[in-house]
Amino acid sequence: MATKATLVKELRKPGLSYRDASVYIDVLTDTIIGVLSRGESIQLRGFGTFYVKKQSARQTSLNGQMTVPEHGRIIFRPSDNLRKAVWDVKKNERVK
């Protein structure tokens, strides 16, 4: 599993400092969170699209009767490039 630290190390390859790469990742994630929290979608060409889908309120009987209020769900639709890159992983390797 990749963590923020491993992503920062990958960004450092072009010559960025660890601190600058970390700041870029923080700015990117904060921006994505801000845009999605406003209900807008984000399309990153060649990567995919993030959007929020409304989940309607519902009743559940798990651990007694309970009402789950209406809420947003984050949906990610990968681009064809990303889908093909993941699909072409060798069959013996397990994608985690």
Q: What is the 3-state secondary structure (H, E, C) of 43-68?
A: EECCCEEEEEEEECCEEECCCCCEEE
Q: What is the pLDDT of residues 7-25, one digit of tens each?
A: 888 888 777 889 999 999 9
- Identify the CATH assignment for 43-91 out of 3.90.226.10, 3.40.630.40, 3.40.640.10, 4.10.520.10: 4.10.520.10
Q: Are 36 and 50 within 8 A, CB to CB?
A: yes
- Predicted local confidence at residue 53, as pLDDT: 92
- Predicted local confidence at residue 67, as pLDDT: 84
Q: Which helix (H) or strand (E) holds 26?
A: helix 18-37
Q: How is residue 24 written in tokens?
A: 């870029």
Strand-strand pairing, 66-68 and 58-60 = antiparallel
CB-CB neighbours of 79 under 10 Å: 15
Query: Where exactly are the structural domains of the chain?
Result: 1-40, 43-91
